[in-house]
Structure 1
Amino acid sequence: MSSAERASLTYAFDAYCAWCYGFGPTLRAFAEDNAQRIRLGVVSAGLYTGARALPVSAYPHLSAERRNVTRLTGVAFGMGYDRALSQGTVVLDSTAAAAGLAALRDQPGVSELDAAEAVQRAWFVDGRSLCDPEVYRDIADELGLDADAVTTAYGAPAGRAKAHADFRALRRLRVLSYPTLLLDTAHGADQMGGAASTAASLTAALDQRLTATVPQAPFHDLPLRGEPS
């Protein structure tokens, strides 16, 4: 199947969303199983913005959420993340994280899913602040990208503008919980699944929808929550 014929999907996620981290292996398996017939774009949500951009200590529920995500999805969190929760000083700022993802996402040849996974590992495994430009330099090196270009883009005003454009795009689509996977169709965005989905159920949903919908270009241009959809 040619690139032009592939179905376009939008993955709505937040880098600080533990449920999105738990959904990661399922999405990876689905993406690999359907690599020849889908294009997957990643769009950031704004779970922790404005008055909600606070230190980890302001969110004591995160420890229990960590346990629930592991219990339901089997993903492992790193010692760095446990240490960050214990210390409580890292500020959760989804705008900075979204700007970092945008800086990575805009590099030639990058896999948006690879970039999103790397950003989440920096937080949920290593416990690194996603406000730190060195995080994106290290990810760029890991992914074989131009590290100077990535860190320059992250620090530029356009990076924050792209982050806010992502937030607005998901609000227009009325996506209110994360993770959410959307099939982009001629009639709008059709939700296919979320954190409770399996790779097989996502593939079955794609099969069903492709018999009745015609894919179109992905969307890149309400209270939010990170939990199973």
Structure 2
Amino acid sequence: MKLVYVFDAYCGWSHGFSGTLAEIVARHPDLPVDVVSGGLFTGVRRQPIRTLGYVKGANDKISEMTGAEFGDGYQRLIDDGSFVMDSEAAARGMVALRQAAPDRAAELAVALQRAFFIDGHSLSTPDTYRKVAEAAGVDADQVIGALHTPATRAAAEADFRRAAELGVDSYPTLLVAAGDRVVPLTHGHATADQVDRRLAAVATGLAR
């Protein structure tokens, strides 16, 4: 049995779920976690952040419901308005990070979101991944070297396809997979206790 976490690094609700994800990982250290990037801001959806009029209101709601913080660095990006979120670049970065430390993919996904939503660092910039890797004690040169390779691009595209095949069209989504069965645990916000109860129910059902 393993967890499958489908998120987008530029998704505020995924950032809001980071605390729950970290707690679930801490409670279940022997339960593997696949991290899959979704394509929230790709194609025509890659637009300056000023065009996304819902962002500030959504962030206020995320903070109210989850306690997630949005830092000064991120707020400066919002105020300027010209920053373009590119989920394909972020997905490549996530691929490079998880290749360098496969067993720590969930932790690195949380760190990547903090780099954007707290510090305001672009997830299209190699220096961001160097900072995240070095802070986590991961081989930064390996991560940077992988960012733009054909294999990493292909893996990012494979993530988008996998998310679609899993039927995920909103982020974050947490699923549990056992053999050929994949069962949703939560879409959007949930507490660690809520996730644990659903996980226990699924595990009981699978054991019957």
Q: TM-score band (shorter)?
A: over 0.9
Contact 2:22 2:107 in 1 (8 A): no
Q: Compared with structure 1, are the counterparts of its residues 125 and 211 closer, same or farther at alpha carbon in structure 2 (3 Å cutoff)?
A: same
Higher helix share: 2
Aligned to 2:90: 97
Q: What is the Cα deviation at residue 186 of structure 1?
A: 2.7
| CA distance in 2 between partners of 1:94 and 1:79 (Å) | 22
Matched, 1:8 2:2: yes
Name the SS of the counterpart of 1:10 in structure 2: strand
Deviations 1:97-145 (A, max 9, x none): 0000000000146500111011101110011111001101111111111
SS of the equivalent of 2:189 reads coil
Q: Is the 8 A contact 2:3 2:34 kept in 1?
A: yes
Given residue 64 of structure 1, which amino acid in structure 2 is its aligned partner?
A: G
Matched residue, 1:197: 190
Corresponding residue for residue 160 of structure 2: 167
* Unmatched 5+ stretches in structure 2: none
Q: Does the Cα contact within 8 Å between 1:14 and 1:47 map onto a contact in 2?
A: yes
Contact 1:34/1:203, CA 8 A, preserved across alignment: no
1:60 aligns to 2:62 (yes or no): no
Identity %: 39
**What TM-score, normalized to structure 1?**
0.87
TM-score by length of 2: 0.95
Residue pairs, 1:26-65, within 5 angstroms: 26-36=20-30, 38-65=31-58
Q: Which deviates the most, 18-27 or 182-191?
A: 182-191
Cα drift, residue 185 of structure 1: 2.3
> Could you say what the CA RMSD is over the residues aligned between the two structures, in angstroms?
1.3
Q: Secondary structure at 2:41's aligned position in 1?
A: coil
Q: Secondary structure at the match of 1:106?
A: helix
User: Matched residues in 2 for 1:141 and 1:195: separation?
Assistant: 30
Partner Cα separation in structure 2 for residue 17 and residue 105 of structure 1: 19
Deviations 1:1-24 (A, max 9, x none): xxxxxx211001000000010011
